[in-house]
Structure 1
Amino acid sequence: MFQVLNEEGEVVNKEALPDLSDEDLKELMKRMVYTRIFDQRAVSLNRQGRLGFYAPVAGQEASMLGSQYALEQKDWIIPGYRDVPQIVWHGLPLYQAFLFSRGHFHGGQIPEELNVLSPQIIIGAQIVQTAGVALGLKKKGKDSVAITYTGDGGASQGDFYEGMNFAGSFKAPAIFVVQNNQFAISVPAGEQTAAKTIAQKAVAAGIPGVQVDGMDVLAVYAATQEARSRALNGEGPTLLETLCYRYGPHTMAGDDPTRYRTSDLDDEWEKRDPLVRFRKYLESKDLWSEEQENEVVDKAKEEIKAAIKEADDTPKQKVSDLIENMHEVLPPHLKDQLEEYREKESK
């Protein structure tokens, strides 16, 4: 397992320490703290009935944000349903992320200049999409890469192998990140595959596979940076397995992790908390303080409140919106239905 910081925030791999400025290091911490607050607020809003589908991210901040921070704005992110933080930090307005959770069509209307796709709900389908996007970038001579994410469960899907094999064959500039958070909903990773690691599955596609400490933001950043350099140099895709843990349920749609996880396992991974680890590292360099963290927390709460208000103020989705948005040119039977619903909605 590739690691830079241990659980105490101490550097254990000096040669791999990424060349990040003090400002970069503080920015990474700010983003992880902000995202933890976002997650707490999103869970609360879901329980209040003010959000729809939501997959908690606490515990996976280093994996998500360390990898996204290694990208450039011109790179493409093809996310799964848990990967909302990456596309928000890549530029998606926060209020649209909330609308996506509510199933509102505007949540999926990605700003034209932003290189992300709407989060994929079908498990593993984004792997095949990424192979296609990456090949398109290569054929157009673009100096950019496509990155995607799935969980350990997604690595058991046929799309996972198909996408990697296709990208590997054409040396497409892709990065496949499997965030191994130990459970595909309730099935332990060890029961999904006889392979010792997910990273080694890259061998079958003829591409490099790297297992990374997903609770170590610097290790994730460094591994992603290396994978990106390989892709841009024409060396093809890389599979990154980030070992991490989701502290909450799989989604807020009724999953109860106490039915398949022990308190001892939870406690073990709590000690590896990515925020605690990185905080210790920054404090050892006199780059972080409780006051700075509180400022980030306050800012996050304020901006999240404003984004929720903007989402609330967005006109409600109508059936006629759905019909109009599905086709550029409506077929005859939908034209009739559109008029029918417009008449109903006008009353």
Structure 2
Amino acid sequence: MDGDTLLLVTVVATALAFDFTNGFHDTANAMATSISTGALRPKVAVAVSAVLNFVGAFLSLSVAATIASGIVDSGAITLTVVFAGLVGGILWNLLTWYLGIPSSSSHALIGGVVGAALIADGTGAVNGSGVVSKVILPALLAPVAAGLVAGLGTYLAYKITSNVSQNVRDKGFKAGQIGSASLVSLAHGTNDAQKTMGIIALALIAHGSLDEGADPPFWVIASCAVAISLGTYMGGWRVIRTLGKGLVEIQTPQGFASEGASASVILASSHFGYPLSTTHVVSGSILGSGIGRRLADVHWSVAGRMATAWLVTLPAAGLVGALAWKGADLIGGTAGVAAVFVLLVACASAFYLAARKAPVNSENVNDEWTGSVAPQRDGVPAGV
């Protein structure tokens, strides 16, 4: 195997690793509210979400095309740039997962690639108008739109069922949540799995194995579908806890309304080829469901921490992507990429070991939580 082919294999493996982190980081987007209200048992929820993420990955390629050609100039992209961008995305995903912050995997990936492209080839390598129109503007508008839809849906759900007993209402909306959460999972697969497909397509174009503008090969689509579904099945319990317990005191009508709003916005963005952050959409929907319910307890301090993470995701992942490219470039060639890859594995292992000291899992994800960085058990901080 020659050096270029080995480099391509390393980049593809790293891309699938990112896809895996995307899966477990974003499981919360589809299933947090259903788990919180008891509509689905935690392990059943992540299994259903994994299957539907897999199916959704095969339904569209519009977002993949945007990632492959709408954000950066594919002619200026090298395998090392793609690899460095992936490193930025993976490390930001792992950091925010460890902290339980529902940040955007999409923006982490885009930020990493843009940062690596900027340091490697200057501003000409980045399609500024594409970043603004297809990334930044949707990031600002989508959570607001989803929140408004969810708020209105929540208000109507309570209004329409005002004369129905709480027990009957909860049973009905729990059944509805199974369908609405499943739809969000399907929508997530149509949007997020394609981002990795687009990145692998960029790598294949840089390698000369794929013509610019061509659709990703079937093996790329299938492998990305498998990777994101496996990650989803792992369950990103730390982020699930934040969205299910940290933002709003969620009841079944709110869960149904927020999931329905999220699915509609995500599916619309997939149709138009926008690489939307499902995390931003779902978080906006959940906040909207809190506003739409009279006397709901909304934890604005948690929302503030999330908003801060959203603002720094693109530049932070971009900085890591730039540093990863510079490190690989200093050593040079395949050896440089290999050295950064080893460092990436070491960092990932450190996050995993740190998380095991205070685990969040399917058994305790629904425990009472104050919304602070350290959850409380019997009044005593239990760790992150």
TM range (shorter): under 0.3
Q: TM-score, normalised by structure 1?
A: 0.27
> Going by fraction, where is helix more abundant, 1 or 2?
2
> Going by fraction, where is strand more abundant, 1 or 2?
1
Q: TM-score, normalised by structure 2?
A: 0.25
Give the number of the structure with larger relative contact order, counting CA–CA contacts within 8 Å between residues 6 or more apart. 2
